[in-house]
Structure 1
């Protein structure tokens, strides 16, 4: 009886090939390498920072140097993965400026894997996609490039990533993993491979489309819940009611789920709903609640900009000059260097469009990446004095500032601290304070 892919991996007869070494692929490669031989490759030749370990050594030009020893090997080209048999595709699936799904990286990775695919190989996708994408877009491309037939010559599966960067409590190994395959045999073998790495329960999907949809639902639910609290924050704020107190009171009931208002960013919540909306629209189905949730969340940057400028308009107007605003943080979440779909970058744009002079400081992120992605220069430090300071992202370095620091960088008691996450609530005495 032929040995299954899991047994071949365990006996080191073959290896796992991870395509895409970003925030999903690199942690996955590191964990997989504790149990199997792993070779990783990134199409853009640039991998994300990984604080838990140094980068593994690259392969030599001749393909040698694959000393695994519990560490993945970084390949110089896709052909260096040709001896692998269990391919995991973990590349980005963003949306473009018109919120249309962009699966170009996914298709490029699929084409690359198709060029080295062999009989008996497995291809598992972790990238977030719309329902039906794996079977409608990826499988035909694999078959065309390789000349092989899915289900007969090779197997395909889908196991959506659930990485939450910066979350020390929930990691790859203790987060339940969704498993699906093109047939029962594929699902069983894929489950055995992931089960070696993940200690949490595995959730089996009846088919690949159900697994694709589950990932989208996770983030659409969060999108809509955040939309609700953002809408309540804007409404209650205009009524002079403290939304944080309202949330605290509502949380006293057992079936209430607490969310906090704020700018929405990152690679999931601002993106994933549009994958479902797009596929639904292709089938003539409308998703009004999901569309509204996205719209409200996207309006938050403009709302914050309006509130900040309204609250400093009196003092600035008397002096007849442009307001100066300092924004602290441009990453999409605290203590992260990830700037994808940055809500703070959208806020900076809204402030500038409304006539403010705006400086953005973030010690966690790379200034060149900000310039390339958003077209503005990141300031290395505050310069001069500001009419308002906006703590858009409460990195650790921005959570322990003193009254004296704010006094040094602001114009005086009429200046505003816009503390979007409520970090300094009840702690500020020498300037005006506002939070969502």
Structure 2
């Protein structure tokens, strides 16, 4: 089977690009993306995701293309496309299906196709394999082979990069698994866990994020409870965290492409097998309801301070799904914005990390170019704890808010400060 592998990476987003860059240090690698603008930007040394430095892009041997004709000479193909959910929170396998169709056009005997996309157990072998076989006119498991190595990318995390973490690897046969172990191990110092089979590897990935979702749901629920009791959940967590085995999860909106999505894949699989996934969906329901709980709490705090202020001017600081990344995928800050608008707020949004063009295209939001204003706001919401917002001084904050306005600190990034008399302060 495959010797001296040459590799194609299908999809150059948050997962595919770092993988391609690191594998290209050891192998001949071509990165493919259907978005020509993405290819052009990368060729110029610019990664809009912020995951790869310009110098690393320019010094890499990675070849970039949007032409599938340039992929036919490779013998290992790694698919790293997203796996979202639809409007009914059902798995949307369209990207992975289309990627499989694309690979089938240049697939040849002896090739290995590896999936890194998060799916429920069975998708690689039961859905992707047949698509590849039909398109290529080859037999899966005989003429070509499947592999699975789930991604573990954490956007913005410079420590747990793809070349530093343990990679799970599974192959359709023991020989394929060993080949993939060697390929990935070359990149990450042989930190490889060989899963028993592909379905086991798929299942391992999907429960990783479901577990985090459930733990965050618990913290979100107690945050709402403690709000009603007049206690800060951050103060409670700080105290409870002194116990050696307490799990340090923080409250907040669960957005992004993984934690807020993957549990639905597991729930779909469970339901299809005849099991009612109560815990998984309960966690999802709790986290999905958090935005309305937060927006109502902020609105009610404003009214309690000024019962006549039914149309407050509110500034939201942060739009991305997490701190210090430009990623707008599945951000839940938009839910806060929509909720507050329904309650009568006039909303402006600023984000020091997000791309203004993407904010406009995806959400029809015009991001403020700066925090300078001649008309102070009734309320300023610290929604995303970007470093730049954490570093704002009290003076910086108070210059953009009325003397009797409300500082709403969703993530507790200013909770250790004392603001001048007259300013209100709200925190979970």
Could you state the TM-score of these two structures normalised by the residue count of structure 2? 0.93
After TM superposition, list the pairs within 5 Å mapping 1:46-85 onto structure 2: 46-47=37-38, 48-49=47-48, 50-53=51-54, 70-85=60-75
Unaligned runs of 5+ in 2: 39-46
2:152 aligned residue: 162
Q: Distance in 2 between matches of 1:97 and 1:128?
A: 18
2:42 aligned residue: none
Question: Which aligned runs of 4 or more in structure 1 are off by greater than 6 angstroms?
Answer: none
Q: Distance in 2 between matches of 1:428 and 1:267?
A: 36
Alignment partner of 1:286 is 2:282 = no
The offset of 1:277, in angstroms, is 0.9
Alignment partner of 1:379 is 2:368 = yes
Q: Distance in 2 between matches of 1:418 and 1:277?
A: 34
The offset of 1:250, in angstroms, is 1.9
After TM superposition, list the pairs within 5 Å mapping 1:25-424 onto structure 2: 25-47=16-38, 48-49=47-48, 50-53=51-54, 70-199=60-189, 201-318=191-308, 321-382=310-371, 383=373, 384-412=375-403, 414-424=404-414
Segment of structure 1 superposing worse, 235-244 or 208-217? 235-244
- Show CA shifts across 1:351-396 (max 9, x none): 1122111111102111221222223322323452211111111111
Cα RMSD for the two superposed structures? 1.6
The offset of 1:350, in angstroms, is 1.1
The offset of 1:55, in angstroms, is 8.2
CA contact (8 A) 2:8 2:30 kept: yes
Q: Distance in 1 between matches of 2:67 and 2:418?
A: 54
CA contact (8 A) 1:178 1:205 kept: yes
Q: Distance in 2 between matches of 1:24 and 1:378?
A: 27
Which residue of the other structure, out of 425, 433, 436, is the alignment partner of 2:425?
A: 433
1:62 aligned residue: none
Could you state the TM-score of these two structures normalised by the residue count of structure 1? 0.91
CA contact (8 A) 2:303 2:310 kept: no
Unaligned runs of 5+ in 1: 10-14, 58-68
- Show CA shifts across 1:240-264 (max 9, x none): 1222222122222222111111111
- Show CA shifts across 1:76-130 (max 9, x none): 3111111111100000111122211111111111101011001111100000111
Which residue of the other structure, out of 2, 8, 12, is the alignment partner of 2:4?
A: 8
2:44 aligned residue: none
Local SS of the residue matching 2:164: coil
1:65 aligned residue: none
CA contact (8 A) 1:37 1:70 kept: no
